[in-house]
Chain A
Amino acid sequence: MNRRDFFKIVATSGASAAVAGGQRTTENILPLVVPNEQLVPGVAAWFATVCRECPAGCGVLARNREGRVVKLEGNPDHPVNHGALCVRGQAALQGLYHPDRFVGPGVPEGRGVRPVSWESARTQVSDRIAELRKSGQGRAIAVVTQLENGSLGALLDTWVQAMGARPRVTLEPFGYEALRAANRITFGRDAIPYHAFEDAEVVLSFGADFLETWLSNVGHARGFGRMHAFRDGRAGTFIHVEPRQSLTASNADEWLRNAPGTEGMLALAVLKVMVAEGLADRRFAETVAKVDVARVADQSGVPVERIKHVAEVFGHARPGLAVGGGVAVSGGNATDTLVAINLLNAAAGNIGKTVRFGPDSAYGRVTPYAEVVQLAKAMERGEIKLLLLGPGVNPAFTLPGGLKFADAIKKAGLVVSFASLPDETTALAGLVLPDTHWLESWSDYSPREGVMGLLQPTMSPIRDAKPMGDTLLAIGRAVLGTEEGKGPLPWGSQEQHLRSVWEPLVKTEWATALRQGGAWKEIAAAPVAARPVAVEAAAASLEGDPGGFALLAYPSFKFYDGRAATRAWLQETPDTMTQAVWDAWVEVPAEAAAKLGVVTGDVLKVASPHGALELPAYVSPTLHARAVAIPIGHRYAPYHVPRYVAAPPTPTNPVALLSGGAEPASGGAIYLGVSVTLAKNGGRRPLAILQATHDQQERELARHVDLRAAREEALRGRREPEEPISMYPEKQYPGYRWGLAIDVDACVGCQACVVACQAENNVAVVGKPSAAYGRAMHWIRIERWAEGRADHPTNLFLPMLCQHCEVAPCEPVCPVFAAYRTDEGLNAQVYNRCVGTRYCGNNCPYHVRRFNWFEWEIPAPLEVQLNPDVTVRQLGVMEKCTMCIQRIVAGKDGAKDEKRAVQDGDIRTACQQTCPTQAITFGNLKDDKGAVVGLVRSPRAYHVLDELGTRPSVTYLKKVVRDHA
């Protein structure tokens, strides 16, 4: 029996019982046709696979219920992400169940396709290829895919050769060509090394947004957490250099706001000081001979003493880690800048320690942007007669406007797309042959040397889609006139090819590989020597009005290059810094805004030599005065549900403003290359900003403690709990008493928990208007509280969820006992009983209770994703965080099966499970040896608004701030 048959289930008894709403008169319950040892209705099956939402390639476990994947979790065994996932990974399910997914092969029309049969579609392509080959125009066939470095990549390349097409182009908008070029120059290696954040004492980042999108954000966040979070008296230091206070920057102990494009000279200045102070390898002295620290300070706007201080700190680190990346390090001087940073690392002796060549990143395999430009030119000249676009690429959207790729595509004969969702590119395609979603596919992907991730179907396809490999093999054989098993393309399917590649690798270990989601081994750091090359790191030059603002077009941590923008969950996930949802914006420095007379929400015309955008302004006190910033990746409304989702009225893609030129040294795309002008157009487009203010008005919601004080306290060890004062007898907890501990110091504000909770607890999406009007439904939210100077604040990230108070204000006011305290210390909310007086919502001082103002729509087939263990709430009921009661129930049930009590770690809430920095800990407050009790007794522990005497079961640990000199 073949694997697909496993999933021949429609739905099983009870699965629908969870879905509330109007009454159903009759209801069918459908058994399996064929019994299936792998799936028991009502019991989850887990399948290991690899996340393909971005090239980081994190390991994923897919939770399958009744034959449908309902939740994704990080694979704890996977060396890249160790069990954590980011927002995009968590939201991948919405790509799988996206209402707009192509129903099958066809010709694009509107948001769908005019269906054609697979046969005719394939023949159309194979005929075209055949005739091109006949006329000797094989080179007129171009294949563009996302980064596929595994067996699929190999298969594609074989196919390309067999067809005699031009070499395959792997298109990744963020290709890090400059990193490779710099490494070629300094170390003679065309590769992107592994950056061991976890082993660094000091991290010095030049614009690298490694907590958002840079290379492998989940892995980096985890490493950063281990390196930076305060743990038994020790904590690393993180210094960040960027013109804009990005999410990463606001996690820095020290954020230096530099003039855009001056990172390189700063790196050299730091090196110069280090050399002078004898903190660096003398061999590098001459590389910085010509550097004048004072001039650098003057150009970059970073004062000399700051530079000296940074050199001081970084120089003493054993080891430190300097990284460069992000938009500010992708200007015309990108390579020079990164060379400078390499020198810094080399001089500080970090190579081989925190910068390890050997376990090189997959990004090293990306086709340099320069070749994409070549392809565009060829298309422009009409040399391309057949263009095959793999899934995950959307050149019409992601490539710089100056390149005019969209126009070029129109000139490229037949365009065939394998995308599964309509986008700007499929709109230009002549034919769509939808690929299966990666959760439905056999494939593999190697995020870095030594890690081979294995993808397996976690459920049967919900649409008439076929793996790209299968389709191409069929087409190829049709062209070559060979049949299966013979010729250059003998494999019957992508799966067969995959097995043929893996068998020699894993031999008998195939089952293990499947179970653990791949195969991996440690790769030792290769010894590399750094050449002390002299480098002249001038400031990046900008095209356009010299009086204008440097445009920082930075990748959004929610949407990456835009491929994730179709996920409603992500659209409604607040951007942590602005707390804005749904719409894009242009971040304008406060001074400029004042000059223009612009307030947040006013529409601004942002014009560059290559195009113009109209976007609502977000006035930022922190942004560098000479820069404006626009997030990349904001795209059309995910799907069209009347009341909820309105498409942004105008284009929002800053990439359209870029020149499209490539950096000569590396051939990488230039993201920092234009200066733009701003003009008020009089209109308003209010942003949906969820947080009313970032000033906590001395209410000490998010608290911090000085590092030195924290150390001293830590030495004194556990704090014994003081007896609460009460007129009433204390409540007794016969069995367990659940509680959460949240380390504000560890939280980096990545929002992963928000989306994880949304996926786990069937939390509804409400759309921009409702969200803007305080009707967002998130059970957990990440608040940003800014302390200190407005233009240079210290940001505290406070994950806020139901505090499960022991003396809960919400409970006694409920007229029907819908809210009450369970014997396990939870603040329960019984939906059946709720009448919707909303009294509890008023009386909750934390305002974490969410009311169902409407019957929120869940467009088909998204309802398949709903977690059958959690009720879908009817309109008119109050809901809130349950501490994942369904997981507690399951955990206790499991323990009962083993005839034992629940132990620490048996139960993990969705937010805890996905947190890359392990800021959240769930456990039994009565278990003195348990992890949570250790944290609750920590000297840093406190309760939000504890002066109200609510006695929450959620304990917070103060953020540890370094006292800046």
Chain B
Amino acid sequence: MPATTETILGVFAYVDTTVRALEDLKAKGYHDLTVYTPVPVHEIEEVLERDRPVSRVRLFTLIGGLTGTASGFLLTIWSAMQWGLTTGGKPVASIPPFIVIAFEMTILFGGVATVLGMALLGRLPRLTPSPSFDPRFTNDRFGVAVHVAPERGGSVREILRAAGADEVRP
């Protein structure tokens, strides 16, 4: 991480204190934040999502799904054409049964694309834990990491403590 910024981490035990800290930080114009929570917390998200666009995962799903549909019909019809065998007096490219295949492939591709999307956007998997991460965050603690220029670190610490952080580091 560039020397021009430092990361200050506040560890909280409660949701409301965490929220308070976030509100204050935002009010003071600190926007470069990372919040660690053991569970997604509605209140915290509310604060964070205010000035963010909706996740783009759904775009992946849509594209994946459509690809599935298309390839489903393509595969069935094309392969049926290969030999043009009649069964049960039905036409070679009989669409109704092929819909089933197309449907299943829509779901399959859609689902896989969604997960890929999530991994891509969520930067997963990550090999080394980020410096500000603390194991307690997957248990019962909440963390607020603020990335700021070194000279402004003091005030950030102030805010975090004021909001009721059990611990602020460095």
Q: Which residues of A come within 8 Å of B, CB atoms?
A: 726, 728-729, 731, 806-809, 811-812, 814, 817, 819-821, 951
Are B83's CB and A821's CB within 8 A?
Answer: no
Are A817's CB and B87's CB within 8 A?
Answer: yes
* Cα separation A820 to B83 with both chains bound (whole Å): 11
Q: Contact mask B61-98 → A, CB, 8 Å, 1/0?
A: 00000000000000000000001011111110000000
Are B87's CB and A811's CB within 8 A?
Answer: yes
Q: Which residue of A lies closest to B88 (CB)?
A: A812
7 pairs, CB–CB < 8 Å, chain A vs chain B: A807-B88, A807-B89, A809-B88, A812-B88, A817-B87, A821-B89, A951-B89
* Cα separation A728 to B83 with both chains bound (whole Å): 19
Are B89's CB and A731's CB within 8 A?
Answer: yes
* Cα separation A808 to B88 with both chains bound (whole Å): 5
Q: Which residue of B lies closest to A807 (CB)?
A: B89
Shortest B17–chain A CB gap in Å is 62
* Cα separation A814 to B86 with both chains bound (whole Å): 12
Are A728's CB and B87's CB within 8 A?
Answer: no
* Cα separation A811 to B92 with both chains bound (whole Å): 13
* Cα separation A807 to B90 with both chains bound (whole Å): 8
- Choose one: A729, A806, A820; the contact of B91 (CB below 8 Å): A729
- Choose one: A731, A806, A814, A817; the contact of B83 (CB below 8 Å): A817
Question: Could you say which residues of chain B place their CB within 8 Å of the CB of A811?
Answer: 86-88
Are B89's CB and A726's CB within 8 A?
Answer: yes
Q: Which residue of B lies closest to A823 (CB)?
A: B86
Question: Could you say which residues of chain A place their CB within 8 Å of the CB of B91?
Answer: 728-729
Of all A-B residue pairs in the complex, the 9 with the closest CB atoms, nearest first, are A811-B87, A812-B88, A807-B89, A820-B85, A812-B87, A821-B86, A811-B88, A820-B87, A817-B85
Question: Could you say which residues of chain A place their CB within 8 Å of the CB of B85?
Answer: 817, 820-821
* Cα separation A808 to B135 with both chains bound (whole Å): 66
Shortest B11–chain A CB gap in Å is 59
Q: Which residue of A lies closest to B86 (CB)?
A: A821
Question: Could you say which residues of chain A place their CB within 8 Å of the CB of B89?
Answer: 726, 728, 731, 806-808, 821, 951
Are A731's CB and B86's CB within 8 A?
Answer: yes
Are A819's CB and B87's CB within 8 A?
Answer: yes
Shortest B79–chain A CB gap in Å is 10
* Cα separation A731 to B85 with both chains bound (whole Å): 11
* Cα separation A49 to B12 with both chains bound (whole Å): 106
* Cα separation A811 to B89 with both chains bound (whole Å): 9
* Cα separation A819 to B83 with both chains bound (whole Å): 13
* Cα separation A955 to B19 with both chains bound (whole Å): 84
* Cα separation A726 to B83 with both chains bound (whole Å): 23
Are B90's CB and A808's CB within 8 A?
Answer: no
Shortest A380–chain B CB gap in Å is 71
* Cα separation A726 to B89 with both chains bound (whole Å): 9
* Cα separation A303 to B33 with both chains bound (whole Å): 113
Question: Could you say which residues of chain B place their CB within 8 Å of the CB of A807?
Answer: 88-89
Among B85, B86, B90, B91, the one with the most A-chain Cβ atoms within 10 Å of its Cβ is B86
* Cα separation A92 to B51 with both chains bound (whole Å): 94
Question: Could you say which residues of chain B place their CB within 8 Å of the CB of A808?
Answer: 87-89
Q: Which residue of B lies closest to A819 (CB)?
A: B87
Shortest B95–chain A CB gap in Å is 12
* Cα separation A807 to B89 with both chains bound (whole Å): 5
Are B90's CB and A814's CB within 8 A?
Answer: no
Shortest B77–chain A CB gap in Å is 15
Q: Which residue of A lies closest to B85 (CB)?
A: A820
* Cα separation A820 to B88 with both chains bound (whole Å): 8
Shortest B14–chain A CB gap in Å is 60
* Cα separation A807 to B86 with both chains bound (whole Å): 10
* Cα separation A819 to B89 with both chains bound (whole Å): 12
Given contact pairs A808-B87, A817-B87, enumerate 17 new A-B contacts (beta carbons under 8 Å). Answer: A726-B89, A728-B90, A729-B91, A731-B86, A806-B89, A807-B88, A809-B88, A811-B86, A811-B87, A812-B88, A812-B90, A814-B87, A819-B87, A820-B86, A821-B87, A821-B89, A951-B89
Shortest A834–chain B CB gap in Å is 14
Question: Could you say which residues of chain A place their CB within 8 Å of the CB of B90?
Answer: 728, 812
Within 8 A of A (CB), among B91-134: 91
Q: Which residue of B lies closest to A810 (CB)?
A: B88
* Cα separation A809 to B88 with both chains bound (whole Å): 6
Shortest B75–chain A CB gap in Å is 15
Shortest B7–chain A CB gap in Å is 59
Shortest B99–chain A CB gap in Å is 15
Q: Which residue of B lies closest to A951 (CB)?
A: B89
* Cα separation A559 to B26 with both chains bound (whole Å): 103
Q: Which residue of B lies closest to A731 (CB)?
A: B86
* Cα separation A817 to B88 with both chains bound (whole Å): 11
* Cα separation A731 to B88 with both chains bound (whole Å): 10
Q: Which residue of B lies closest to A724 (CB)?
A: B89
Question: Could you say which residues of chain B place their CB within 8 Å of the CB of A820?
Answer: 85-87
* Cα separation A808 to B90 with both chains bound (whole Å): 10
Among B83, B86, B88, the one with the most A-chain Cβ atoms within 10 Å of its Cβ is B88
* Cα separation A210 to B75 with both chains bound (whole Å): 63
Q: Which residue of B lies closest to A820 (CB)?
A: B85
Question: Could you say which residues of chain A place their CB within 8 Å of the CB of B88?
Answer: 807-809, 811-812
* Cα separation A195 to B134 with both chains bound (whole Å): 110
* Cα separation A474 to B135 with both chains bound (whole Å): 107
Shortest A731–chain B CB gap in Å is 6
Shortest B62–chain A CB gap in Å is 32
Q: Which residue of A lies closest to B91 (CB)?
A: A728
Question: Could you say which residues of chain A place their CB within 8 Å of the CB of B86?
Answer: 731, 811, 820-821
Question: Could you say which residues of chain B place their CB within 8 Å of the CB of A726?
Answer: 89
Question: Could you say which residues of chain B place their CB within 8 Å of the CB of A728?
Answer: 89-91
Question: Could you say which residues of chain B place their CB within 8 Å of the CB of A951?
Answer: 89
Among A812, A814, A819, the one with the most B-chain Cβ atoms within 10 Å of its Cβ is A812
Question: Could you say which residues of chain B place their CB within 8 Å of the CB of A814?
Answer: 87
Q: Which residue of A lies closest to B97 (CB)?
A: A812
* Cα separation A820 to B86 with both chains bound (whole Å): 6
* Cα separation A729 to B89 with both chains bound (whole Å): 9
Question: Could you say which residues of chain B place their CB within 8 Å of the CB of A806?
Answer: 89
* Cα separation A904 to B100 with both chains bound (whole Å): 46
